């Protein structure tokens, strides 16, 4: 089910189209293409460390002519960016913990003990994935508004958790199904009840699964823009909404905008390269069977 | 009730109750609201208007326009992503020296926020200061630096949003297809070689059919995601100019927040859900058939 390693060199298709010494050519060709592909991001990073005026120069250059941190200074002066990042981080973290906790409990129940109610819920859970976010956002806005929770972090935490729980269930079932039932039985013989067996034995061996679920839940919340835009205004505003405010009709803030975009996405980029193994397993799960 | 199913319910209950309150109830509320005329300020229950919001939506030109744009967006974006993703997956599957590093480079944008993607392309496609127009001019493709008003020309606005989407999600397509390619059993290739198939025949009759189920799932996931796109379009064009890049999500958002029409936007959201469920069940049936073979 998990297939994170491309290192398993498995020559076929194109590999057979070319002889071995042509591999170098393919390698160079692909590397050039990949660098071209990633170049928009590199361009943004390079622009963010140019002087602010270079971002709105009529003849832009790819590489900086001069280095400057002006754009970064501007974002700190212009808006409470630290607060926005803090809001993003807090709402994403708490909703991730909640979603992974609730999701893995439910997934374990569904994976180990079959029941009709559970299966109906599982089917509904899968349907939720097909529902457009905006369709949940509309009634959510009404409900949150009715509860008087507009512009609070709690509103975002509830929303992100609700969206992530089905995903966490769906992902964790796959992992729990791979844990042999003998583990549960052994734990029960050693005097655990069902709940402690789950906490002490099953969860620890499912750590890669938990990590995968946590990464995806966190990223969904961290990257969210629609719900934050709809449900917050000042106090609970998240980084994505804050950054989007650099877009003005007059293009004057394009430089600081690149700095804000980089501050928001570069840590994510580095982190996602570090945990690529989990991301790959999460994304190919469901699509590729063992 | 057996003991087994009772335990199952204990484990499931916390998540189940949470989802009931904050997921299934909202969807039920959405369906209810779609039949009512609701005043956001009065906070009342509204008056029952039956199917009139649905009829209005289907008859409205803007809704039809947004639906058409969403379909164009999905078909063009997912189509290009599939072709580009397959192309990169095949290249990486040749396992040349250093393919691991190139794969990491390709996968780097995987987790970038759609919002940030929108900002990147907003900057690059900028009419006055964008590097894309400059490059087109430098390579003599266009005759002036401002030849294409990417974001403010009705002919190009939707295309611009599609370009940003393709850039963001081609790595996902590549990743899934690469995993699919690596799952094809080498014995299939050996037997096709014994049968004397040439490279193109091998690709058409071995690689593609074996990859088909994976492709369907990848296209399904991407179709659902592309259909509900909001961030990219909102940042790049907000659906403009003159609704030329309006997609369903942005139109519903405006209907709700700018015009405060809860009933109307709910009805459209219900139609949207039905459309997406119909498309995805079509895919799932296709996949089921492919697996049977």
The chain A residue lying nearest B132, using CA atoms, is A60
Q: Is the pLDDT of residue A115 over 70?
A: no
Regarding predicted confidence, which is higher, A19 or A161? A161
For residue range B203-241, what is the model confidence (pLDDT) as tens digits?
888 888 888 888 888 898 899 889 989 999 999 998 878
Residue with tokens 């073979």: B293
Q: Is the pLDDT of residue A209 over 50?
A: yes
The chain B residue lying nearest A244, using CA atoms, is B235
> How many angstroms separate the CA atoms of B24 and A132, rounded?
14
Record: contact A280-B107, CB cut-off 8 A: yes
Q: Can you give the pLDDT at residue A7?
A: 40
Q: Average model confidence (pLDDT) for chain B?
A: 87
Minimal CA separation from B293 to chain A, in Å: 16
Of the given ranges (A12-16, A99-103, B95-99, B160-164), which has the lowest mean pLDDT?
A12-16
A3: confidence class by pLDDT, cuts 50, 70, 90: very low
Mean pLDDT of B111-126: 91
Q: Can you give the pLDDT at residue A250?
A: 63
Q: Can you give the pLDDT at residue A99?
A: 95
Nearest CB to B92: which of A6, A246, A258?
A6
Select from B249, B45, B213 the least CA-distant residue to A288: B213
Q: Can you give the pLDDT at residue A153?
A: 94
Q: Which residues of chain A lie closer than 8 angstroms to B231, CB-CB?
A: 225-226, 240
Q: Is the pLDDT of residue A252 over 80?
A: no
Record: contact B181-A55, CB cut-off 8 A: no
> How many angstroms separate the CA atoms of B93 and A14, rounded?
8
Q: Is the pLDDT of residue A32 over 60?
A: yes
Instruction: Residue window 216-245, chain A: list those with CB within 8 Å of chain B.
Output: 219, 222-223, 225-226, 229-230, 240, 243-244
A108 in contact with B, Cβ within 8 Å: yes
Q: Which residues of chain A lie closer than 8 angstroms to B105, CB-CB?
A: 34-35, 37-38
Q: How far is CA B51 from CA A13, A250, B34, B61, B65, in A?
A: 54, 43, 8, 18, 21
Record: contact B111-A264, CB cut-off 8 A: no
Q: Which residues of chain A lie closer than 8 angstroms to B114, CB-CB?
A: 223, 225
A287: confidence class by pLDDT, cuts 50, 70, 90: low
Mean pLDDT of B134-159: 84
Record: contact A130-B224, CB cut-off 8 A: yes
Q: Is the pLDDT of residue A21 over 70?
A: no
Minimal CA separation from B210 to chain A, in Å: 12
Record: contact A13-B105, CB cut-off 8 A: no
Share of chain B above pLDDT 90, in %: 34
> How many angstroms separate the CA atoms of B114 and B91, rounded?
26
Select from A216, A211, A91, A199 the least CA-distant residue to A152: A91
Indicate which of A12, A202, A244 best probes the interface with B, i.e. most B CBs within 10 Å of its own CB.
A12
A120 in contact with B, Cβ within 8 Å: no
Q: Which residues of chain B lie closer than 8 angstroms to A24, CB-CB?
A: 96-97
Q: How far is CA A217 from the centre of its chain?
A: 6
Mean pLDDT of A135-150: 89
A1: confidence class by pLDDT, cuts 50, 70, 90: very low
Record: contact A134-B96, CB cut-off 8 A: no
> How many angstroms separate the CA atoms of B9 and A286, rounded?
25
Of the given ranges (A11-25, A123-137, A239-253, B205-219), which has the lowest mean pLDDT?
A11-25
Residue spans of alpha helices (H) in A79-225: 81-112, 116-128, 133-146, 153-177, 181-189, 194-197, 203-205, 207-223
Record: contact B99-A57, CB cut-off 8 A: no
Q: Average model confidence (pLDDT) for chain A?
A: 83
Close Cβ partners of A86 (under 8 Å, ≥ 6 residues apart): none
Q: Can you give the pLDDT at residue B1?
A: 52
Mean pLDDT of A129-152: 87
Indicate which of B115, B199, B235, B266 best probes the interface with A, i.e. most A CBs within 10 Å of its own CB.
B115
Nearest CB to A58: which of B129, B184, B265?
B129
Record: contact B19-A166, CB cut-off 8 A: yes
Q: Which residues of chain A lie closer than 8 angstroms to B124, CB-CB?
A: 40, 43
> How many angstroms separate the CA atoms of B243 and B229, rounded?
16
Mean pLDDT of B162-178: 93
Nearest CB to B113: which of A117, A135, A223?
A223
Of the given ranges (A60-69, A147-156, A224-233, B161-170), which has the lowest mean pLDDT?
A60-69
For residue range B26-53, what is the model confidence (pLDDT) as tens digits?
999 899 889 988 876 665 667 888 888 8
Q: Is the pLDDT of residue B2 over 70?
A: no
Judge whether A160 and A137 are in contact, CB under 8 Å. no
Q: Can you give the pLDDT at residue A190?
A: 84
Task: Name the 3-class secondary structure at A253.
Answer: coil
Nearest CB to A169: which of B15, B170, B266?
B15
> How many angstroms separate the CA atoms of B210 and A65, rounded?
51
Q: Can you give the pLDDT at residue A4?
A: 45
Select from B240, B87, B252 the least CA-distant residue to B171: B87
A251: confidence class by pLDDT, cuts 50, 70, 90: low
Record: contact A261-B269, CB cut-off 8 A: no
> How many angstroms separate the CA atoms of B248 and B233, rounded?
10
- Structural domains in chain B plus CATH codes: 51-292 (1.10.3720.10)
Close Cβ partners of B260 (under 8 Å, ≥ 6 residues apart): B40, B41
A150 in contact with B, Cβ within 8 Å: no
- Structural domains in chain A plus CATH codes: 14-68 (no CATH), 80-244 (1.10.3720.10)
Q: Is the pLDDT of residue A9 over 50?
A: no
A56: confidence class by pLDDT, cuts 50, 70, 90: confident
Regarding predicted confidence, which is higher, B95 or A51? A51
Share of chain A above pLDDT 70, in %: 88
Q: Can you give the pLDDT at residue A5?
A: 44
Exposed / middle / buried, residue A213 (Cβ in 10 Å: 0-12, 13-18, 19+): buried
Record: contact B108-A286, CB cut-off 8 A: no
Select from B259, B272, B276 the least CA-distant residue to B37: B259
For residue range A159-174, what is the model confidence (pLDDT) as tens digits?
999 999 988 998 888 8
Exposed / middle / buried, residue A212 (Cβ in 10 Å: 0-12, 13-18, 19+): buried
Record: contact B189-A163, CB cut-off 8 A: no
């Amino acid at each position: 089910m998990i297939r994170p390693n491309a290192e398993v060199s498995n020559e076929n298709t194109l590999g057979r189209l070319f002889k071995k010494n042509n591999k170098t050519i393919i390698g160079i060709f692909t590397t050039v293409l990949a660098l071209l592909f990633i170049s928009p991001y590199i361009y943004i990073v390079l622009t963010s460390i140019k002087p602010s005026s270079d971002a709105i120069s009529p003849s832009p250059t790819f590489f900086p002519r001069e280095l400057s941190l002006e754009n970064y200074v501007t974002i700190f002066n212009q808006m409470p960016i630290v607060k926005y990042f803090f809001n993003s981080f807090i709402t994403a973290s708490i909703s991730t913990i909640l979603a992974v906790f609730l999701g893995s409990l439910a997934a374990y129940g569904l994976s180990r003990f079959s029941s009709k109610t559970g299966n109906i819920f599982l089917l509904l859970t899968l349907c939720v994935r097909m529902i457009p976010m905006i369709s949940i956002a509309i009634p959510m806005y009404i409900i949150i508004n009715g509860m008087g929770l507009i512009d609070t972090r709690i509103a975002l935490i509830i929303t992100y958790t609700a969206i992530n729980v089905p995903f966490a269930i769906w992902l964790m079932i796959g992992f729990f199904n791979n844990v042999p039932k003998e583990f549960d039985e052994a734990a029960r013989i050693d005097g655990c009840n069902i709940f402690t067996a789950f906490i002490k034995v099953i969860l620890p061996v499912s750590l890669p699964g938990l990590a995968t679920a946590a990464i995806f839940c966190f990223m969904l919340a961290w990257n969210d823009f629609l719900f934050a835009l709809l449900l917050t205004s000042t106090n609970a505003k998240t980084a994505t909404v804050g950054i989007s405010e650099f877009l003005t009709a007059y293009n004057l803030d394009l430089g600081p905008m690149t700095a804000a975009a980089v501050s928001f996405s570069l840590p994510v980029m580095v982190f996602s390269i570090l945990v690529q193994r989990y991301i790959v397993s999460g994304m190919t799960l469901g699509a590729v069977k063992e | 009730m057996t003991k087994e199913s009772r335990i199952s319910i204990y484990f499931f209950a916390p998540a189940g109750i949470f989802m009931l309150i904050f997921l299934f109830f909202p969807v039920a509320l959405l369906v209810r609201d779609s039949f009512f005329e609701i005043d956001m300020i009065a906070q009342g229950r509204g008056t029952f208007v039956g199917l009139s919001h649905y009829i209005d939506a289907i008859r409205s030109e803007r809704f039809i326009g947004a639906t058409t744009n969403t379909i164009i967006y999905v078909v063009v974006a997912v189509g290009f992503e599939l072709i580009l993703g397959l192309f990169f997956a095949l290249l990486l599957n040749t396992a040349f020296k250093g393919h691991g590093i190139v794969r990491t480079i390709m996968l780097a944008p995987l987790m970038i926020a759609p919002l940030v993607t929108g900002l990147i392309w907003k900057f690059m496609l900028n009419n006055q200061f964008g590097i894309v127009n400059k490059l087109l001019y430098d390579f003599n493709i266009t005759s002036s630096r401002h030849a294409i008003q990417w974001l403010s020309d009705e002919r190009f606005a939707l295309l611009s949003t599609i370009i940003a989407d393709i850039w963001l999600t081609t790595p996902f397509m590549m990743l899934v297809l690469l995993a699919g390619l690596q799952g094809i059993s080498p014995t299939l290739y050996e037997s096709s070689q014994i049968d004397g198939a040439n490279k193109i025949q091998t690709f058409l009759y071995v690689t593609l059919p074996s990859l088909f189920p994976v492709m369907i799932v990848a296209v399904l996931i991407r179709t659902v995601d592309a259909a509900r796109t909001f961030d990219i379009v909102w940042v790049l064009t907000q659906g403009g100019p003159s609704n030329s890049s309006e997609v369903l999500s942005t139109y519903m958002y405006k209907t709700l927040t700018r015009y405060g029409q809860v009933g109307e936007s709910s009805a459209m959201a219900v139609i949207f859900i039905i459309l997406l469920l119909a498309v995805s069940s079509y895919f799932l049936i296709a996949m089921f058939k492919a697996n049977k073979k």
